[in-house]
Structure 1
Amino acid sequence: MGDAIENEHQCTCKIGRDIDRYDLDGLNGELQHRRDVADASLRTLADYINERILETALAEAETDLTDVAYGAVSADDALSAVYETLTSDTAPADREARVRKRFEQNGIDLEELESDWVTHPTVRSHLNDCLEIDTARPTKITAESARNTIEWARTRCTRVVEQTISRLVSAGIVSIRDTEVAVTIQITCSDCGSTFRFGELLEHGSCPCSADETT
């Protein structure tokens, strides 16, 4: 499987062509992580790929759609909001029209972009045939996979905070020099109030009140 991940540019399926066309280096490794560790569905993976394609097209056109991304507080949120507006059957028609107009104004061929988007059957074929990932095999959580998932979520949260601070600085709302963002994950038992870091909870295996119930 390692060779399949490393040689992603040798894949000739639609996702392989998208990787080459949009320079999505590392996509296969991210798909494997999200499927095996985060237990992402095929539909979720398809949306992830399509958002990466959208992100690349916007970056190449130097286009910022934050102002038409309803409720967005970060670049990632704006990207997801724009994608949802373009793909959701329940998105208001006027909002979709504004987004599509902005693409047109910035010279982005949205129809061509949408034709490069993928569906979950395409993702299934790519995982099975190109990456040798058995999508029929149910995933089982382990302590190590849970640790990896928590770390992935913490890293993503840190990135969102960093992007938000950067936007605040750019907008002149706050003034600060170099920043270092730290996100800490803590789990608190609502019954006894014991608080753990995630690694501590794994090590102990239970909180004091739960341990008392089993003795």
Structure 2
Amino acid sequence: MPPDSDPTEYKVGRLIDKYDLDGLGQELEDRWLGRGYESQSLRSLADWFNKYILEEKFNRAGEPPMDGEIDNIYRLLTDDEVTSGMRLDAETALEEKDIDPENTRKEFVSHQSVYVYLTEHRGASKQHSSKDRIGSARDTIQRLQSRLIAVIENHLEQLRNAGELTIGEFTVLIDIQILCEDCGSSYSLTDLFDRGGCDCE
């Protein structure tokens, strides 16, 4: 299904337009659907896209990254287990290349942003057989998450416009975590679906 909306209505589309990354939207769709690539989860696609944007920032700053540098900087900026000192070192390294670390973090997209862009703008859809209950559940939940995000965004914008809430440009993030009380393992819903279960025998 060809795109029938303005891509800049979506965060992913705005970034593709900003950095002149023609063809990246098609590659995102192909990677999600497994056309010419091994099918990737939305979370891994978000990480892949964010690293692509980070590398583009390096190139535009005239500082082509060394092997492994993008993966390392991205991990230091986004991993909750990274110490504040290590994160500060990464931010300093970016500033030395005239790359704004705070703006960089703001431009990183969530897996939900990728899903909304692919399904609403590009019209992409994963077709599942009637036996694929996980696939069906995944699609249903992602649609509900997207709807909830849209409702939250709408209310926040109305409150801001009415002067009842002070907030700058914002992104609504919804992260569902599943805790298995038997084995104690915890996963995001996407990761639990991707791996096919928890650590229970």
Question: Is 1:43–1:120's contact at 8 Å kept on the other side of the alignment?
Answer: yes
Q: Please report the TM-score for the alignment, with normalisation by the length of structure 2.
A: 0.56
Deviation of 1:129 (Å): 0.4
Question: Which amino acid is 2:110 matched to?
Answer: T
Q: Which range moves more in the overlay, 106-115 or 87-96?
A: 87-96
What CA deviation, in whole Å up to 9, does each residue of 1:153-186 have, x standing for no partner?
xxxxxxxxxxxxxxxxxxxxxxxxxxxxxxxxxx
- Taking the TM superposition and a 5 Å limit, the aligned residue runs for 1:1-215 are 1=1, 3-4=2-3, 10-12=6-8, 13-37=10-34, 38-64=38-64, 66=66, 74=67, 77-135=68-126, 137-138=127-128
**Inter-partner Cα distance in structure 2 for 1:86 and 1:65:** 16
Q: Please report the TM-score for the alignment, with normalisation by the length of structure 1.
A: 0.53
**Inter-partner Cα distance in structure 2 for 1:60 and 1:81:** 19
How many equivalent residue pairs? 125
**Inter-partner Cα distance in structure 2 for 1:138 and 1:90:** 36
Change (3 A) 1:53 1:110: same
Identity of aligned residues (%): 31
What CA deviation, in whole Å up to 9, does each residue of 1:78-127 have, x standing for no partner?
21121111111122433322211011122211211221111111111111
What SS does the aligned partner of 1:112 have? helix
Question: Is 2:31–2:40's contact at 8 Å kept on the other side of the alignment?
Answer: yes
What CA deviation, in whole Å up to 9, does each residue of 1:181-203 have, x standing for no partner?
xxxxxxxxxxxxxxxxxxxxxxx
**Inter-partner Cα distance in structure 1 for 2:88 and 2:104:** 16
What SS does the aligned partner of 1:63 have? coil
Question: Is 2:59–2:65's contact at 8 Å kept on the other side of the alignment?
Answer: no
Question: Is 2:77–2:105's contact at 8 Å kept on the other side of the alignment?
Answer: no
Question: Is 1:50–1:117's contact at 8 Å kept on the other side of the alignment?
Answer: yes
Gaps of 5+ in 2: 130-201
- Larger CA Rg, structure 1 vs 2: 1
Change (3 A) 1:78 1:138: farther
Deviation of 1:64 (Å): 4.9
